[in-house]
Amino acid sequence: MIAVNPTDSASLLAAFGALAVLVVIFAESGLLVVGFFLPGDTLLFPAGVLCAASADRPPRLELWQVLVCAAVGAVAGGQVGYLIGRHGGRPLLARTSNQRVKSGAARAERLLVRYGYGKALVIGRFVPLLRSVLHPAAGALGVPVRPFTLWQAVGGVLWSQTFVLAGFALGSSVSHIDRYLLPLVGVIVVLSLLPALAEARRARRDR
């Protein structure tokens, strides 16, 4: 029996392949508290790497399957998150004692007010932690269904396909890149946190 760590991208991909991408991205995009503990960027990029063939091995995952699963998970998860927020999101946020959730919800509200629905929903997809609370927060704040659906779908597809294809491109051009997945994941984590740090810095400056 295979032991699977749901927070470890390598473990998930080894056990479930493209299906792991679908389930994890769905949960991270809309299931609020659960999404905070799951890999997003750090699952998509390695999945793309594993789709690339090299001189000494065939691809371990099918690129088209990973792309479809990533897009479906991102868009469906965002829509479910919105529905959760719209039908009881405010009481849920009020009851939670998780400071990361409360902080994320406040940041999501500021982002929606500052940039408008379209820009906020696209930018928010690329920001870890914020991504998990943005869609429920949009539902709780009463963002209209049609613009939400349009822009969260655009953001979800753009984000998911960008990371998978970036991993695939790197895996196709660098030999034995899978040996360096752990350091690469660390770099992705650091880079993905830069927008959040910039947003926090702007917020402090505006006070």
What digits encode the pLDDT tens for the residues 119-137? 889 988 888 777 888 898 8
Closest by CA to 82, choosing from 26, 36, 158, 145, is: 145
Can you list the positions of beta strands (E) in 99-153? none
Give the per-residue pLDDT at 160. 93
Contacts of 57 (CB under 8 A, 6+ apart): none
Tell me how far apart the alpha carbons of residues 14 and 2 are, in angstroms, rounded to a whole number.
9
CB atoms within 10 A of CB 102: 14
Report helix, strand or coil for 150. Answer: helix
pTM (two decimals): 0.78
Closest by CA to 39, choosing from 55, 14, 20, is: 20
Q: Which ranges of the chain have pLDDT less than 50?
A: 1-2
Give the per-residue pLDDT at 1. 39
Give the per-residue pLDDT at 46. 85
Give the per-residue pLDDT at 153. 95
Contacts of 104 (CB under 8 A, 6+ apart): 36, 129, 130, 132, 133, 134, 137
Give the per-residue pLDDT at 169. 86
Tell me how far apart the alpha carbons of residues 81 and 130 are, in angstroms, rounded to a whole number.
13
Place of tokens 């849920």: 92
Contacts of 176 (CB under 8 A, 6+ apart): 54, 56
Distance set, CA 39 to CA 12, 128, 129, 151, 156 (Å): 10, 9, 10, 22, 15
